[in-house]
Chains A and B, each alone.
Chain A
Amino acid sequence: MRSLNDCKLYVITGENYHKGRDLLEVMEAAIRGGADIVQLRDKDAAGPELLEKARALRELTRRLGALFIVNDHPEIALAAEADGVHLGQEDLPIEAARALVGPDRLIGISTHSIGQARAAERAGADYIGVGPVYPTGTKPGRPAVGTGYVAEAAEEIRIPFFAIGGIHPGNAEEVLAAGARRLCAVSAVVGSPDPAAVCRELRALIERAQLSAPLPRTGGGRLAKTVVVNGRAETTDADTLQELAASFRFGEKLVVAERNGEVVPRADWTSTPVGEGDRIEFVHFVGGG
């Protein structure tokens, strides 16, 4: 399965933007264009209808190798074998959702301020949405938070965040310049007659931003590096094992960490550097007897 850490472009369904065209057709185009994580959001459908859509999207994303998230409904996420569930600030608390979906499924949450972002990271969210950066028809009535919040999140938040809200190829560079490295789009993609082309454009902008400059986030010149975590190559800007653990949601868990073949005592995580090419494993402590 694709790792969340690899995901750069998040596309959410919005069937009202493509009346007359099939949901699966539009989403397949988006994925083929470069969306690597997609979310089913449908405030009108419920129960069997929603589950049917979820199952169809699950099959599509599995076939094309994208992650699949269900908005609002942990039970649908479970029944459709989605990779995770996305919550709003007014939905189920993260802890409650975690109890439902278990430790392995992803939980994402929309945040609109750095305070909400911190709370989400603490509560064990796997990723957050940061926005709305610009006013958007998808969320009418919610004031835009601007790129200022994107910069704050880039500075402080260690779990992956996706900038969202009114983002399209015309303003994406501004969002990336504020420090975003992952974008989410709805109407710009699914409302376009050529979703694949829009995704290709957005993806190219993200990749260019990544290449052009180290992340602008810290004064200390934090550099992205590639490390192997639990057997997978991952890009991270964590400087220490503690930061790396936090970005994988292991920060508060009872896990044993190993770096390049040697166990690292828990108390040394904050002083253990993470360098390019390091091989790191986190395993849950096994405690039954």
Chain B
Amino acid sequence: MLEPAEMEERYSRQIRFAPIGIEGQLRLRDSAVLIVGVGALGSSLAQQMTRAGVGIVRLADRDYVEPSNLQRQSLFDEEDARAAQPKAVAAAAKLRRINGAVRAEPFVTEVNANTVGALLNGVQLVLDGTDNVRTRVALSDACFARGVPLLYGGVTGSEAMSAALVPGETACLRCLIGGDEAAEPEQTCDTAGVIYPAVELAAALQAAEALKWLSGNRSALRRTWLTADVWHFRLREWTLPEGRANCPFCGGGVRKLSGWDKPFAAGGRDGPAAALVGGKRAAVDGDKLRAAGGTENPAVPREAGGAGAAAEERPPRPAQRDADAPGNSHAGEPEATVLCGRDSIQVTTGRALSLEESETRLLARGCVVTARNPYLVRAVSPEGERLVLFEDGRVLVQGTSDPERAVRLCRMYVAAQPERKSDNGGEADAELERL
């Protein structure tokens, strides 16, 4: 925590900006944001929030740093790529050097209906740095169900889009673009490419709205959908419609904005912001998240070596999944997700992986381990695919776009008992369950 004089010095230019002032600065300090996806947008968003002095910057990302990220993902460097650092972890390390007074909380996790609840706990605002529609719609659902605004941002090629989606005020993303039936876009960054200036434009649009929202300037929020192109220069802005009456998320009968009319951060809610009131910077938020993970839903992410939380201090993971927990009806069955346009499949094994045992196993089965850190093991299979095993039970299979092949590779190299080529699927399932 900075002394008042230090704070006034550090943020002097921002405080001198009349709409923020010292009061806005204090509100920023007492705020918590969640940034989902720490790639190009997420890097820029996280950096802007951290430099601005937002009290807690929570980061959630499922991926790790690769050389092809460095052209536009501003928080990472070559060393991060060499070490295959998870993006959330690498980003948090940089953010702590940028502003030690900000608490950067990294979570190496998939963001889905199972994990999003705990991640949202105690934040006033969510900044979208994701790269796919499925996650965005799930995020929108969760934000609107809890009354937390979502600042959408997206980027492809030289185009940028942004919109502030505010529960009780605007329609939700599900209504605007279609829900589960919504296709992924034809063009993604992996097919159409992306240039960094477009990233910074989208992130700047989001970050400006975030500063308004968090510093007590909510009425200044831009209630529009903005679309821009930095190459064939164009900027268009359209009003956002209100929520749709019969939508369970943004419809009239549902929950409005949480704490809309309450004082900032002191609303007595059980979030990290509450823990900051009065200058106490206890790490209760992380503990609460972890506790939630243990009792409510084993799929809940756990903080990845947060500030001061060394690896050995981590509580043990739940030993096994609770098959009765909501959303866990497929416990033990691998689920393959095609990562659009990336020649990658994410296989969710459904249970935690011991990285040490996994590494031994991979080596014994003829794989070459190319990276190992406290969060993941990366190996090349004899067939040439790359397998990236994360502690939370996810395996990223790179070099194939065939989900069945990805699951099969996991059975051969990740499962406790390797599948022999002649094994049938049923036996393999059983083996995978013994992971």
Docked Cα-Cα span, A32 to B240, in Å, equals 46
Q: Using known A-B contacts A254-B183, A268-B244, determine if residue A289 contacts B153 with beta carbons closer than 8 Å.
A: yes
Pair A254/B160 contact, Cβ less than 8 Å: no
B105 interface residue (CB < 8 Å to A): no
Contacts of B295 in A (CB 8 A): none
Chain A, range 258-275, C-beta contacts under 8 Å to B: 258, 261-268
Pair B159/A289 contact, Cβ less than 8 Å: no
Pair A267/B185 contact, Cβ less than 8 Å: no
B129 interface residue (CB < 8 Å to A): yes
Contacts of A267 in B (CB 8 A): 175, 178, 244
Q: What are the 8 tightest A-B residue pairs by CB atom distance, in nearest-first order?
A: A288-B189, A289-B131, A286-B154, A266-B178, A265-B175, A286-B161, A258-B238, A288-B156
Q: Using known A-B contacts A266-B177, A281-B236, A287-B133, determine if residue A253 contacts B188 with beta carbons closer than 8 Å.
A: no
Contacts of B42 in A (CB 8 A): 289
Additional A-B contact list (11), CB under 8 Å, known A287-B184, A288-B194, A289-B154: A103-B186, A253-B183, A258-B225, A258-B238, A267-B244, A285-B133, A286-B154, A286-B155, A286-B159, A289-B37, A289-B40
Chain B, range 123-163, C-beta contacts under 8 Å to A: 128-133, 136, 153-156, 159-161
Contacts of A264 in B (CB 8 A): 241
Docked Cα-Cα span, A263 to B237, in Å, equals 10
B227 interface residue (CB < 8 Å to A): yes
B363 interface residue (CB < 8 Å to A): no
Contacts of A253 in B (CB 8 A): 183, 186
A145 interface residue (CB < 8 Å to B): no
B187 interface residue (CB < 8 Å to A): yes
Contacts of A289 in B (CB 8 A): 37, 39-42, 128-132, 153-155, 189
Contacts of A263 in B (CB 8 A): 171, 176, 225, 238-241
Pair B154/A287 contact, Cβ less than 8 Å: yes
Interface size class of B (residues with CB under 8 A): 35 or more
Docked Cα-Cα span, A94 to B389, in Å, equals 40
Contacts of A284 in B (CB 8 A): 185-187
Q: How many whole Å from B291's CB to the nearest CB in chain A?
A: 30
| Nearest-neighbor residue (CB-CB) of B236 within chain A | A281
Pair B225/A287 contact, Cβ less than 8 Å: no
Interchain Cβ contacts under 8 Å between A and B, 10 examples: A252-B183, A261-B239, A263-B176, A265-B171, A265-B176, A285-B177, A286-B154, A287-B133, A287-B154, A288-B154
Contacts of A254 in B (CB 8 A): 133, 177-178, 182-186
Contacts of A252 in B (CB 8 A): 183
Interface string of B323-340 (1 = CB under 8 A from A): 000000000000000000
Docked Cα-Cα span, A112 to B188, in Å, equals 36
Docked Cα-Cα span, A264 to B171, in Å, equals 10
Contacts of B227 in A (CB 8 A): 256, 283, 286
Q: Using known A-B contacts A254-B184, A287-B185, determine if residue A265 contacts B241 with beta carbons closer than 8 Å.
A: yes
Pair B175/A285 contact, Cβ less than 8 Å: no
Q: How many whole Å from B229's CB to the nearest CB in chain A?
A: 10
Q: How many whole Å from A285's CB to the nearest CB in chain B?
A: 5
Chain A: residues with Cβ within 8 Å of the partner, total of 22
Docked Cα-Cα span, A283 to B163, in Å, equals 14
Pair B40/A286 contact, Cβ less than 8 Å: no
Docked Cα-Cα span, A286 to B241, in Å, equals 19
Docked Cα-Cα span, A283 to B228, in Å, equals 11
Contacts of B186 in A (CB 8 A): 103, 253-254, 284
Pair A285/B241 contact, Cβ less than 8 Å: no
Contacts of B41 in A (CB 8 A): 289
Most A C-beta atoms less than 10 A away, residue of B177, B188, B190, B236: B177
Docked Cα-Cα span, A199 to B160, in Å, equals 45
Q: How many whole Å from B193's CB to the nearest CB in chain A?
A: 9
Contacts of A286 in B (CB 8 A): 154-156, 159-161, 185, 202, 227
Pair A262/B161 contact, Cβ less than 8 Å: no
Q: How many whole Å from A254's CB to the nearest CB in chain B?
A: 5
Most B C-beta atoms less than 10 A away, residue of A254, A261, A289: A289
Contacts of B175 in A (CB 8 A): 265-267
Interface string of A236-255 (1 = CB under 8 A from B): 00000000000000001110
Contacts of A261 in B (CB 8 A): 238-239
Most B C-beta atoms less than 10 A away, residue of A252, A262, A281, A288: A288
Q: How many whole Å from A279's CB to the nearest CB in chain B?
A: 11
Docked Cα-Cα span, A123 to B184, in Å, equals 17
| Nearest-neighbor residue (CB-CB) of A265 within chain B | B175
Interface string of B231-265 (1 = CB under 8 A from A): 00000101111001000000000000000000000
Q: Using known A-B contacts A253-B186, A254-B177, determine if residue A285 contacts B161 with beta carbons closer than 8 Å.
A: yes
Docked Cα-Cα span, A1 to B314, in Å, equals 62
Contacts of B133 in A (CB 8 A): 254, 285, 287
Q: How many whole Å from B33's CB to the nearest CB in chain A?
A: 16
Q: How many whole Å from B144's CB to the nearest CB in chain A?
A: 13
Docked Cα-Cα span, A279 to B23, in Å, equals 43
Contacts of A265 in B (CB 8 A): 171, 175-176, 241, 244
Docked Cα-Cα span, A258 to B177, in Å, equals 11
Docked Cα-Cα span, A266 to B238, in Å, equals 15
Q: How many whole Å from B263's CB to the nearest CB in chain A?
A: 32
Interface string of B166-203 (1 = CB under 8 A from A): 00000100011110001111111110001000000010
Contacts of B239 in A (CB 8 A): 261-263
Docked Cα-Cα span, A285 to B236, in Å, equals 14
Docked Cα-Cα span, A285 to B159, in Å, equals 10
Chain B, range 379-426, C-beta contacts under 8 Å to A: none
Q: How many whole Å from B245's CB to the nearest CB in chain A?
A: 11
Docked Cα-Cα span, A283 to B159, in Å, equals 11
Q: Using known A-B contacts A254-B177, A265-B244, A266-B177, determine if residue A287 contacts B183 with beta carbons closer than 8 Å.
A: no
Contacts of B171 in A (CB 8 A): 263, 265
Most B C-beta atoms less than 10 A away, residue of A266, A268, A283: A266
Pair A266/B187 contact, Cβ less than 8 Å: no
